[in-house]
Structure 1
Amino acid sequence: MQSTTGNFPAAATALEFLAFRLGQEEYGVDIQKVQELRRYEKVTCIANAPGHLKGVVNLRGIIVPIVDMRIKFNLGTPTYDQFTVVIILNIASRVMGMVVDSVSDVITLGPEQIRPAPEMGAALDTDYLTGLGTLEERMLILVDIDKLMSSDDMGLTSSTLQ
């Protein structure tokens, strides 16, 4: 029987994560979901969209919804500066963007470096967390970006944007 660590199979292969910051915390997303990194630019707002949905941009002919993760995670009022980055993601054959404070690097974690996400109870929805990655003094909050971006409260389900 194969054991698992978070939502990752315990395999001999290491996993790569794009590390990004939101406030004081560092997060990681599966590098295979990342299409490209872009600097933050003005978006076209959509009326009656949820607050975390900043709007849309035209990316080489594709209309891409842009989500501000600082707003989504209630981490205070976002500021947009030269370090602000939009991570363009490919999720379930859709292209989406998420605004983060900054991107640092790509981190390789072995299965022994990934711990399961703590249970937070019903008061806090942490279904989108896959675990906590540790690398020396760093701790990354590992996000299942598919689960997060396809959740009903994101307003990005296929029925919403058709």
Structure 2
Amino acid sequence: MPSELKIVTFNIGKEKFGLDIMNVDAVIEYEETTKLPNASDYFEGVINYRNEEVLPIINLRRKFKMSDFEDRSHAKVIVLKIDQRRVGIMVDDVKNVRSIDPNLINEKPNIGGMRGADFISGIARLEDGMLVILDIDKLLTEEEKVAIDEVINN
């Protein structure tokens, strides 16, 4: 196990989340998306990423069943590498990159009301509060990955 993990931290509402920096391709400003028909409700749409590819954008507020953005103009998009594809996740704000001692990370609690939260890999206990660390490989289910591929490739 590494002596410390590099975690990109971000907010959704008042909650603090983190991702392993090794999965992050870039952080960009939110831009208006092109909506696609028959997409899941948390699928914000697509953008032209670096004039190279169509990038699907997932609205994490909706995915996590939180209230939607009132004002998207300040939102950020974290571009992730998931399997062999890039996916953008829309968040309120990206804070910083932190080095975290793995000993400060607890496994996610086994709470009955957390069904479907397999994408949480752990919770870090930090001096400024708790940080929910997400598992990128489980953020999207296999069915969701297939659905995104179908939407993008059709």
Give the structure-2-normalised TM-score: 0.89
What amino acid maps onto 1:28 in structure 2?
G
Gaps of 5+ in 1: 1-10
Compare 146-155 and 86-95 and name the one that shifted more: 146-155
Shift of 1:86: 0.5
Task: Give aligned pairs, total.
Answer: 152
Q: Which secondary structure does the structure 1 equivalent of 2:137 belong to?
A: helix
Corresponding residue SS for 1:35: strand
Whichever structure has more helix as a proportion of its residues is 2
CA distance in 2, matches of 1:155, 1:25: 29
Describe the shift of the 1:63–1:81 C-alpha distance in structure 2 as closer, same or farther (beyond 3 A): closer
Report the CA distance between 1:98 and its aligned residue. 0.5
**Deviates most, 21-30 or 152-161:** 152-161
2:131 aligned to 114, 117, 140, which one? 140
Query: Alpha carbons of 1:103 and 1:49: their partners in 2 closer, same or farther (altered >3 Å)?
Result: same
Match of 1:35 among 25, 38, 49: 25
Cα distance change of structure 1 residues 68 and 132 upon mapping to structure 2, 3 Å threshold: same
Q: Deviations over 1:107-128 (max 9, x none)?
A: 1111211011001237622211
Query: Which deviates the most, 70-79 or 94-103?
Result: 70-79
Q: Deviations over 1:21-55 (max 9, x none)?
A: 01110000111111111111100110010110011
Identity of aligned residues (%): 30
SS of alignment partner, residue 112 of structure 2: coil
- The residue number in structure 2 matching 1:74 is 65
**Offset from partner CA, 1:46-71 (integer Å, 9 cap, x none):** 00101100111111221110000001
Q: RMSD of the TM alignment (CA)?
A: 2.0
Deviation at 1:81, TM superposition (A): 4.4
3-state SS in 2 of match to 1:45:
coil
In the alignment, which of 7, 14, 21 is matched to residue 11 of structure 2? Answer: 21
2:36–2:151 Cα contact (<8 Å) kept: no
SS of the counterpart of 2:86? strand
TM-score scaled by length of structure 1: 0.85
Bigger CA drift: 72-81 or 50-59? 72-81
C-alpha displacement at 1:77, in angstroms? 2.1
